[in-house]
Amino acid sequence: MASHHIERVNDDIRRVLAEKLPELKDPRLHQGDMLTITHTDTTSDMHYCKVYVSVLGEYDPKTLMQGLKSVSSYLRREVGRSLSLRFTPELVFQLDDSIAHGAYINKLINDLDIQHDDDDDHP
């Protein structure tokens, strides 16, 4: 039962953060083409929530993380206002490069020069 509760909390936190991120005015957060919350992982004691973010396009990871750290208390307050939780977890941001890595692999596959056989004899 507790894990189902944590999953619901993770989904709710991700939803609130996804709504609030575009409203933020910090220019450090508007690097690249798109900033996305890919996953949230809240500890079972609800004290910490690891927030995985992904950015497509060119960006400076150090600058982005500084921007996220500077707005984390505001975002935590907004999560607390939006959700009815006994304790609002501290948000810890971490870069997730899985989307960028997937796009890179997709580009490599598309760039391959594969010769197709026209023979119908071979499967």
Q: What is the pLDDT of residues 61-91, one digit of tens each?
A: 899 999 999 999 999 999 999 998 889 999 9
Tell me what pLDDT residue 41 has.
Answer: 95
Task: In whole angstroms, give the CA distance from residue 110 to residue 36.
Answer: 25
Asked if residue 100 is part of any domain, the answer here is: yes
Asked if residue 118 is part of any domain, the answer here is: no
3-state secondary structure of 95: strand
Within the chain, strands assigned E span 34-42, 48-56, 90-95
Between residues 34 and 48, the one the model is more confident about: 48
| Residue 37: pLDDT band with limits 50, 70, 90 | very high
Asked if residue 52 is part of any domain, the answer here is: yes
Asked if residue 25 is part of any domain, the answer here is: yes
Give the residue numbers spanning the domain of 23.
2-111
Q: Cβ distance 64 to 41 under 8 Å?
A: no
Asked if residue 92 is part of any domain, the answer here is: yes
Count: domains in the chain? 1
Tell me what pLDDT residue 122 has.
Answer: 54
Asked if residue 117 is part of any domain, the answer here is: no
Asked if residue 121 is part of any domain, the answer here is: no
What CATH code is carried by the domain that includes residue 85? 3.30.300.20
Is the predicted pLDDT of residue 10 greater than 90, yes or no?
yes
**Count helices and strands in the chain by DSSP H and E runs:** 3, 3
Find the range with the poorest average confidence among 21-30, 36-45, 93-102.
Answer: 93-102
